[in-house]
Chains A and B, each alone.
Chain A
Amino acid sequence: MAKPLLEVRDLQKHFAIGGSFFGRRRALVKAVDGISFTINAGETLGLVGESGCGKTTTSKLVLAAEAPTGGTIEFEGRAVAALRGAELQDYRRKVQVVFQDPYSSLSPRMRVGEIIGEPIKAHERLSSADVRARVAQLLELVGFRPDVARLFPHEFSGGQRQRLAIARALSTSARLVVLDEPVSALDVSIRAHIISLLEEIQQRLAVSYLFIAHDLAAVAHLSQRTAVMYLGKIVEVAESLELCAKPLHPYTKALFAASLPSHPDELREEIVLTGEVPSAVDPPRGCHFHPRCPFVMPRCAEHEPPLVELAAGHSVACHLY
């Protein structure tokens, strides 16, 4: 099997908070606490979880916007943390991001053409005519007429802006695009449109996605594999279809129970979680999920369950299995 495009091993990111200058004991927030996953070329990995579980921190780590506390990220077989100079620039060219809020991710003072052309100018020596031609192609790729390049972002609606953000992310022939909740801020009617646009682009350009969301339906639709995160850890990874059909971890089951059924008559297992996500400053001992788990057992509070592969490609971290 070919080497994966992105390989994340035991990635950790801890933030120190409340520390004072005189060395009072600092609390550690374990935003990301030992997660591993791989993304193959042309593949989409979905990452779901509720707010505060470390999804966005994971994306920042992958984007090399933050340095990990532990673990490694390998891109095309090379450790990202060791990249310097031109190699790092090349990584920044190949790994792009689409943020959640399209109102904040496009500079209000620049024209669309400049916004989309900015990464091209930063990474490639092209004449401005070539840049303009590339921008026109990209605009057409996301379904605009090329002459919108001279408009300002505020002249677009949320969904249109998100398409512009996608065009920008693709401007330097990225190999991996991190989609950080790209449809969460959009109207439901626009979401499907953006998702199918992303799908179409992937088919055409064979780009990989790391698709971060809390919308299970969207994630399952777009991604081949889905990882479920809870409090800085991955609790379950499986093929998306398999995960939908047969969720194993109680948390995954609860997530599916909480999402809207696709048909009103559909019968579902009702799992209502009590309480809130515990603080990442002082996570519970043992399995992080045990205080809220409906199937909790005595040993859940003692030992942390490892992520074990139960079936081909389906791993779960739970003492039930």
Chain B
Amino acid sequence: MATIPIGADRTTAVVSAARRSYRALQTLPMIPLLILGVLASMAVLAPVVAPHSKLDPVKPTREQCLAKFNIPDCPYVDNAPPFWAAGGTLDTPLGTDSLGRDVLSRLMHGARISLIVALTGTLFAGAIGTVLGVLAGYMGRWWDEIIMRITDAWLTLPSLVFAILLSSVREPSLWNVVLILALVFWSRYSRAVRGEVLTLRERDFVKLAEINGIGKLTIIRRHLIPNVMNTVMVLFSLQVGVAVIIEASLSFLGFGVPPPEPSWGLMMAQERESLMEGRWWLEVFPGLCITMLVLSANMLGDWLRVRLDPQLRNR
């Protein structure tokens, strides 16, 4: 019986493992990781590195008060532009808002809220949706009927109205937004995952496991969930972006994070007239933050999809 050599002996295995991890390092998506890294460290370090308070106005200098109001002493200077524009100072590099609060510091604190809400909200939604989708797709019959009819009904629900209902039942708070996101978004996961499972369960390896007498829960755990993770990861990265925006809309409508707290969406919403009046920095900087977060989440999700698939991994 001829032996066809596959694999390699131990030394070359170590070398190739090292080479593989180096290659993996090279293929890391640097730009989204950099952006996410900056945003995340901003969120974590906000209390330490933020130059000013997130809630109180910045105490202005004499010169600023004189320039703005022609009086030597004023409580705050509102709507100061970024430092490079006329009237801006390096003390508040991205300007101040209509209450004289430092935009940069508020953005840093806002990163906390936006990241926590978006990540945990989509995570919970993904967990609920994946489990229900796998159950519906694999168990079939009544499981499928019941779960999918609920999902269908859920998808027709206008998510914002539903969110408003939920938050009127509960006190508006950060965790309330997380709960809303989880309850609104799970149906998208369950639908996509069920479709995926329907094709997976006809694959021979699942049938083989059934013929081998392996339990349904084990099949779900070992065969189905790993194989739907691709879809889930891609959905997750897309939903993080949508979640940031939903969080912003909720905050805008007053059902999200309560106002003095600086969430990015809330910051944009509160200053919505300012764009018309030429105070662009109040809209553009939070908007840029949201855009960068959404974009880098999407890029990272796409990279993860490729990395998680063993068939694409070593290319």
Q: Which A residues are closer than 8 A to B by beta carbons?
A: 63-65, 88-89, 92-93, 96-97, 99, 101, 104-110, 115, 118-119, 122-123, 143-145, 147-148, 150-152, 154-156, 160, 168, 172, 197, 200
Contacts and interface: CB of A to CB of B under 8 A. Distances in A.
Interface string B70-112: 0000000000000000000000000000000000000000000
A147 B222 CA distance: 22
Interface in B246-289: none
Given A101-B204, A109-B227, A118-B222, A145 B6 contact: yes
B199 to A, nearest CB: 11
Contacts of A101: 204
Contact of B213 (A106, A123, A160, A168): A123
A107 B204 CA distance: 9
Contact of B204 (A92, A104, A143): A104
B5 interface: yes
A107, A147, A148, A152 interface centre (most CB from chain B within 10 Å): A107
Contact of B203 (A104, A115, A122): A104
Contact of B211 (A92, A106, A152, A160): A92
Contacts of A160: 4, 6
B218 A122 contact: yes
A151 B218 CA distance: 22
B227 A107 contact: yes
Contact of A65 (B6, B203, B210, B311): B210
Contacts of B210: 65
B223 A145 contact: no
A144 B227 CA distance: 27
B208 interface: yes
Given A108-B311, A122-B214, A151-B6, 6 more contacts: A64-B211, A99-B204, A99-B207, A99-B208, A108-B309, A108-B310
A152 B222 contact: no
Given A88-B213, A122-B214, A122-B218, A143 B311 contact: no
Nearest to B230: A109
B214 A118 contact: yes
Given A97-B208, A151-B6, A200-B1, A108 B227 contact: yes
